[in-house]
Amino acid sequence: MNVGIIMGSDSDLSIMQAAADVLKEFGISYELTVVSAHRTPLRMVEYAQKAKDRGLKVIIAGAGGAAHLPGMVASITSLPVIGVPIKSSNSIDGWDSVLSILQMPNGIPVATVALNAAKNAGILAATILGAFDENLGNKVAAYKQNLEKEVLKKVDKLKEGGQPNSFDA
């Protein structure tokens, strides 16, 4: 299993690293590189065209500003593409990136996570791959069960601190 993580600029790495970290946690191999839809369009086309042949199963594409990278890659490959909108230095509070990735035309879907939510993109990639790999699917399920345990610990901590709580499921 392989996931491709691409971003429009190396300045996006501080956000996109979270996707790589999650994939490592699940034991999923990945590649990570810069592919700019605007500055290296031929590199983008080649990347998308050859991704499946290189063994990739999912592509996570992060982009800020006009954020064309995820949609353009999705228009070239048959692999699932997960878009990560990034609030960049020239961004309009990130909304330009969110809407650019979210508002894809019919026929070219891009799964879109929240602004700067590369971690969720990594989890979604693991979930997609886990649908076809029982061991990985079990790891994703355990991850989500652990999230529940963490929240319940916080509920107990609030109770111990004397906070009123009338809800106990």
Q: Which domain holds residue 75?
A: 2-133
- Judged by DSSP in three states, 10 sits in helix
Q: Which helix (H) or strand (E) covers residue 42, if one does?
A: helix 41-50
Does the pTM of the predicted model rise above 0.85? yes
Residue type, 49: Q
- Across the range 150-163, mean pLDDT stands at 88
37-64 pLDDT, tens digit each: 999 999 999 999 999 999 999 999 999 9
74-120 pLDDT, tens digit each: 999 999 999 999 998 888 889 999 999 999 999 999 999 999 999 99
Which residues are part of a known binding site?
A: 9, 12, 39
Please tell me the predicted confidence (pLDDT) of residue 130: 97
Residue 53: CATH number of its domain? 3.40.50.1970
- The verdict on residue 148 lying in a domain is no
Query: How far is CA 71 from its chain centroid?
Result: 14
Rounded to 5°, angle at Cα 69 from 53 and 6: 55
- The verdict on residue 63 lying in a domain is yes
CA atoms within 13 A on the CB side of 103: 8
Which residues are part of a known binding site for substrate?
A: 9, 12, 39
Q: Which helix (H) or strand (E) covers residue 7, if one does?
A: strand 2-7
